[in-house]
Amino acid sequence: MGLLDGKRLLITGVITDASLGFHVAKVAQEQGAQVVLTGYGRMRLVERIAQRLPQEAPVVELDVTSQEQLDSLVERVSPLLGDEPRLDGVLHSIGFAPASCLGDGAFLNAPWEDVATTIHASAYSFKSLAVALLPLLGPGSSVVGMDFDNRQAWPAYDWMGVAKSTLESITRYLARDLGPKGIRVNVCAAGPVRTMAAKSIPGFAAFEDAWDGRAPLGWDVNDPTPVAKTVCAMLSDWLPATTGSMVWADGGFHAIGVAPVQPAE
């Protein structure tokens, strides 16, 4: 039996086969889940990417900043889930920031309009997605967001970092309000992985260079599988009493203050 046998999952944020969402969908299917993907913009590309999964997954369009699309989401997803439509898990793997919000000088100079876009797309949409899907969620369901641990300031991350802090806070409030319905809400704080989103972050190499030397378990920015497996564990029944939490999949980087000094030869 697989970890996710019989589970029905909605996975957002698939753009290419390098997307974390794609790798979560792949591992989830390998563990027995039925998967529905969402994409935005280049839908033909997303549909082609869906064909590269172990089993081709249906795709629905979703702009998480569009209330119209959120309002119709249950209607569009339900026919893809069988005779008794339900969702056992949802992955929010979405983040966007205009160029003005990232990089040198961005924090002090980005205009509010761009900051608002960043927070709306990257954080507020987590709440919007969960609320839109409530008719399909129920006791035992798990809602997971993709995070980058933002308890400290990072080089170049700037307003996306603020959005991640907002996402972490939203997780706690969602967990409070959805817990009585039996719905768990958590975020996975992943180490840096080379995705399309990562390529848009100026100075991303600084994250790559620091991570492997400091993470006790080491870290491979080209391997999204450890993160995907962690998310699938969070979507499973094996964390039944975990909610409002940040679960790390970063090789232990967050626990170490500085990189260890290597002994002399």
pLDDT of residue 264: 52
Place of tokens 């995070």: 147
Instruction: Please state the separation of Cα 116 from the chain's center in Å.
Output: 20
**pTM assigned to the model:** 0.93
CA distances from 21 to 152, 190, 196 (A): 25, 12, 12
Tokens (6 digits) for 208: 């790559």
CA distance 160 to 58: 30
Helices and strands (DSSP H and E) totals, the chain? 11, 7
Query: Per CATH, is 8-251 categorized as 3.40.50.1370?
Result: no
The pLDDT confidence band at residue 2, using thresholds 50, 70 and 90, is: very high
Which residues are paired to 184 by β-bridges? 142
Give tens-digit pLDDT for 81-117. 988 899 999 999 999 999 999 988 899 999 999 999 9
In this prediction, residue 260 carries a pLDDT of: 65
- Residue percentage of the chain with pLDDT more than 90: 78
pLDDT at 212: 76
- Long-range pairs for 210-214: beta carbons < 8 A, 24 or more residues apart: 210/259, 211/250, 211/251, 211/253, 213/259, 213/260, 214/253, 214/256, 214/258, 214/259, 214/260
The pLDDT of residue 261: 54
**Per-residue pLDDT reduced to its tens digit, 204-238:** 666 777 787 889 999 999 999 999 999 999 999 99
